[in-house]
Every structure is written in structure tokens, then in C-alpha cells.
Structure 1
């Protein structure tokens, strides 16, 4: 087969699967088709040298489809959840890079409004999910987040232990700071200082014409709002990096605040 490349948006989708399920099975992963695909019209064929349903406007020999192994090997994350999550984004108009998805004897396509239909092809697609992407240059080249990190899953015991450890660590730093700067203060005065620290105002997420201020004690409620209502407490939409990206930004904010407190000691 002639030299070919996988379109960037699907490379990014593969990368996000690896990020949310690093131990996943990859036995059924694929991109370019085999000899059988080469004899039929398929998005698995390179678009300059193979038989494909659409010809795009560039001269790059690209493949516009991937298969991702069904076994994600995560306790509360399944391919079904991933497929339904992506379908929800497609139906809401938040994701426009996909043309159709095939999984477990079903097919959903943009051309049919993402309505579920029975898939009767030779492969039932039970061992992997198939994702076909757009041939529009701007969409196939987009490596924007697919937001797979935002798929709600139950916390594992390890997750809970990690969160507890982080909370303990941050609380310990705050307590240490109070001890360093207020050894001679009463308990009431210590509480007042702690409340003041938590109430320090900082910028929230922002959208054009819509920015709000909140304190450190608003961080967790803000993330819950983002995860469940796709809006922050201030009404701003989920940032481009997604809720996971926002969590990282919030942790960076907390770290900066603590660094500032240390510098003042």
C-alpha cells in the first residue's frame, strides 16, 4: 500500500482513549484497512490511492477511520459509555468531526441525525468500535479535545485514597502556615484567618462578556456545576480543555495561592 497518514483528529481520539484507559487492550485497534477493505469502498482506505466514499480537497493520502478495541480494562468505563457520550455531543452539535460510529451491531450517522439503526455488515463490531471522520479539511485537521475525560465514572478505592491524600496535603500546608504565622493567636482568630484565606477572590472561568469572581472555597462546587450542568456557578460554559482541563487549572490556582502564602511568611 502506498504511503499514507491517519488524519490528525483521529490520532487525537486514539490518544484520548490511551489517556482514559492506559491499560486497555489494543488487539483490535486499527486504521488502514486490509486487502478485503481495499476491494470495497471504505473510510479505512487511503483517500488518494484507495476506494473511498468522499474525495477531500487536499493531496495528502489520508485514512479517515479507526477501530478501537472494545476492552478498555477500566472498572467503570466501557466502550458503550464512550460511544453514547460521543453520540450525545454529536447530537447536541458540540462535536462535528465524526461522520458515523459503528458498535455492537448498531450504526449511528450524521446524515441520519445520529439515530440508532441496526448494522448488518459482515463484522458485528462487537470486539471494537468503528469511528469514521469528516473529509472536511478544517475538521479532519482539528486536534481539539474529544472530552473523553469528562465521561462520568464511579471513583475507585484508589481514586478516593488519592483525593483524601491531596486534601490532607493541602490542609496540612494551610495548618503549617497558620502555625508559622499565628502561634500566639486564639482559636477564634485562627479560624478567622483560615476563612479569610479561603475567601481570597480570583478570576473564574470566562466567556466573552461573562466573567465572575470566586474564592478558593468555590472550587469544588464549580467543578460539580461544570460536570453535571455544563456551566460554572457563574454561568460560563465548559472551557475548551473540558472539565478535566479545568481541574488541572484549579489545582494550579490552589498551588499558586499556597505559594503566595508561603512567600508572605
Structure 2
């Protein structure tokens, strides 16, 4: 018989604990049972070679229990919050892969509608959370996300400072861009005096924007958007009016 392996759904759960709490304590983590577990029926025992409460349909030597250390080392996130998040999903039917959870002298079971009971076992499970998986072949093999990343976590002071700095930086960029745009518009629209033949101001004015339009032309719909002199565009418009 091949060596035992943790069922895929709990392996996925274990990975997601690492994702949301990469610096968590792992000293109380575990899945395969020790000699004490081997002497009694336990989900920590391999289901093909050990004593287990249920035999599943496949012939894979699997363990259906996972212990995860309580110390997640993430501000605003603890095992209680994770357990309650999973219980909510179990109760509303979103999650069906767990049979029961034990944490901090309490147990919640699918068989009694996930109602809380006092746990009276020898191990209080106050140093780790215990998660037992279904023996249904499809459920135990599911690698679907447990959605632990959706657990709401309060922002820390460092988070708030980081967000504040990001907002301030973006606001500063927007203000600078607006100022530059205003300067550009002013430069294009500010009237400048024109000189007569004698080289002296003759009382007329021009703007760079108007000068560019006269020199470069404007897009003409009749010419497929090609730029034409202003007088030609006006001629096209006049013809269109007459024809209509």
C-alpha cells in the first residue's frame, strides 16, 4: 500500500492558510496521526490502513484531518475569525467539504446543522484548529478555493499610511497634470499683437491656436478627415448646404 497522503481539499485549505498568513507559526500544524491516534478511530489515520470512522469509495490511502497552528501572525486575523468564516459558508451551503471543526474547546458538526457544542476531548484544541473533511470522493478531491482571501481584516496603521501615501501621490500627479494643461491652453489661446508692414503693432492680434488652424488646416469630413485650409472647409460646408 502506498504511503498516506492528505486529501486534496484539505491540502488546498492548508495552502490558503499559508497564502493569507505567510509568516504564521507552523509548529502545531499536522495531519497524519501519531501512535496515540493509531490506537483509536480517527480522521488523522490513513483510511486504507488505519482505524477511521468511515471508509470512502476509492482505494487511495488518505488522511481526512488537518490541524493548523492558531498563531497566524497577521494583525486583525486569528483562528477564531477563520473558523467563523468557514462556519458561515458551511451553514449557508456554500461549503460542503467539511464534516466538523474543533477549535478552542468547541466543536461544530455538519451532522447537527453546524450548531456549536462544548468539546470535552482530552485535547482542548486551543493551540490549533482541527478540520475534518468529507469522505465523499468528489468532495474530498475538490481543489476549489476555500475563499480565505475574502475574510475581512481590519486595516493596520501601516496599511492606512501606505494607502494615504498612495492617494497623496496620485493627487499630486493629477494636480501637476492639470496645471500643465492649463499652462498649455493659456499659451495657445493668449492673444499676441500683430505687426503691420512697417514692423509696428497695427492693432490686430492673433493666438497660436488660431495660427495653427490657419497654417495646418482642420479635419474635413468630406475629405475623410484629411486636413484642409479653413476656407476650403467652409466651401465644402457651403456646398453641402446648397445641395441639401
Tell whether the structures are fold-level matches, with TM greater than 0.5: yes
* Number of residue pairs aligned between Structure 1 and Structure 2: 186
Moved more, 175-184 or 44-53: 175-184
Question: 2:96: which partner in 1?
Answer: 96
Question: 1:138: which partner in 2?
Answer: 138
Give the CA deviation at 1:163: 2.1
Which stretches of structure 1, 4 residues or longer, exceed 6 Å deviation after superposition?
A: 179-182
Give the CA deviation at 1:170: 4.6
The alignment partner of 2:72 has SS state of: coil
Question: 1:35: which partner in 2?
Answer: 35
> Structure 1 regions of 5+ residues with no counterpart?
187-265
Question: 2:60: which partner in 1?
Answer: 60
Please tell me whether residue 120 in structure 1 is matched to residue 115 in structure 2. Answer: no
For residues 154-198 of structure 1, give each alpha carbon's deviation from its aligned partner in whole angstroms, at most 9, with x where no partner exists.
101221223234434555665666677775247xxxxxxxxxxxx
Question: 1:161: which partner in 2?
Answer: 161
Question: Aligned pair in 2 of structure 1 residues 158, 35: CA closer, same or farther (>3 Å)?
Answer: same
Distance 2:39 2:121 in 1: 15
Moved more, 62-71 or 151-160: 151-160
Distance 2:8 2:173 in 1: 43
> Structure 2 regions of 5+ residues with no counterpart?
187-244
Q: Which has the larger radius of gyration?
A: 2
Distance 2:101 2:33 in 1: 16
The alignment partner of 1:184 has SS state of: helix
The alignment partner of 2:68 has SS state of: strand
Distance 1:174 1:67 in 2: 50
Question: 1:78: which partner in 2?
Answer: 78
Q: CA RMSD in A?
A: 2.1
Distance 1:155 1:88 in 2: 22
Question: 1:107: which partner in 2?
Answer: 107
Distance 2:142 2:87 in 1: 18
Moved more, 38-47 or 161-170: 161-170
For residues 111-134 of structure 1, give each alpha carbon's deviation from its aligned partner in whole angstroms, at most 9, with x where no partner exists.
000000111111111111100011
For residues 62-114 of structure 1, give each alpha carbon's deviation from its aligned partner in whole angstroms, at most 9, with x where no partner exists.
11110011111222111111111111111111111111000111110000000
Distance 1:109 1:146 in 2: 18
The alignment partner of 1:67 has SS state of: strand
Question: Aligned pair in 2 of structure 1 residues 69, 168: CA closer, same or farther (>3 Å)?
Answer: same
